[in-house]
Amino acid sequence: MQTVGEILRSERERKGLSVKEIELATSIRTIYITAIEEGNYTIIPGEVYLKGFIRNYANFLDLDSQQIVDLYRQSQNPVAPTNERITSIDNAPKEKPLKEANKSSKWLVIGVLVVGVASGALWFQNNSSSLPPEPRADRQVQQPAPVIPKQAVIPSTPVTMKPVVIIAKYTDQCWTSVTADNKIIYEGTPQAGETFTWEAEQNITIKAGNAGGIDIVYNGQSLGILGTKGEVLVRTFSAKK
């Protein structure tokens, strides 16, 4: 019957593979592959590693890895041959029956046991009174009430709006320049979807390069689109009196 190493080596050679190719494919070192093929298991560090190497090696060669591992186990624990001579129990030398113990010895042993039991009971009775009482199971330990931190009170500050408030919602790209109380506060080219809010004490002037791309809200009142698409427009919004 072939050994595990002989089966693996035979299959490797049949496939035309070298030991180095097996090492590259399975990450098993060459020294361990050679040891398995030669049945020299002592140099492999541990039974778990050995079985893992055998399983991976067999899987790579498309062999039944479980069958190969079982074959290895059988080689390590061979079954005793069935024709081995077994000594009959009937042929074994029989022990001589024990002589009957002396009656006085029996009574002596019984007396020692009785004294021992009585001493143990007396010791337990004397020491049980000094033991602390067991805690009652129904007694509940009171947990301290959780401390809930007080929330900080933030004083509300009224929002003060200036007399002129313009909200510009852009629906298209538009170059824009904004002057508030004779001071330029914005200049740029907003993109569609952007919204800006400007405030002033007296007036706000808007210069737009594409008036059709701005939707204006003046002091909370919607004025709609500032102008037509592509129109260059200058418009001033003053404080209401």
Q: Count CB atoms within 10 A of the CB of residue 235.
A: 17
Compute the distance between CA of residue 178 and CA of residue 197 in angstroms, rounded to an integer: 11
Q: What is the pLDDT of residues 193-233, one digit of tens each?
A: 999 999 999 999 999 999 999 999 999 899 999 999 999 99
- For residue 195, the model assigns a pLDDT of 95
pTM (global) more than 0.85: no
- For residue 124, the model assigns a pLDDT of 55
Work out how many domains the chain is built from and give that number: 2
- Domain boundary (46, 76, 106) is at 76
Q: Domain range for residue 228?
A: 164-238
> What CATH code is carried by the domain that includes residue 25?
1.10.260.40
Sign of CA dihedral 79, 82, 88, 93: negative
Is residue 111 in some structural domain?
no
Q: What is the pLDDT of residues 149-174, one digit of tens each?
A: 555 444 444 456 799 999 999 999 99
Is residue 209 in some structural domain?
yes
- Domain boundary (76, 95, 114) is at 76
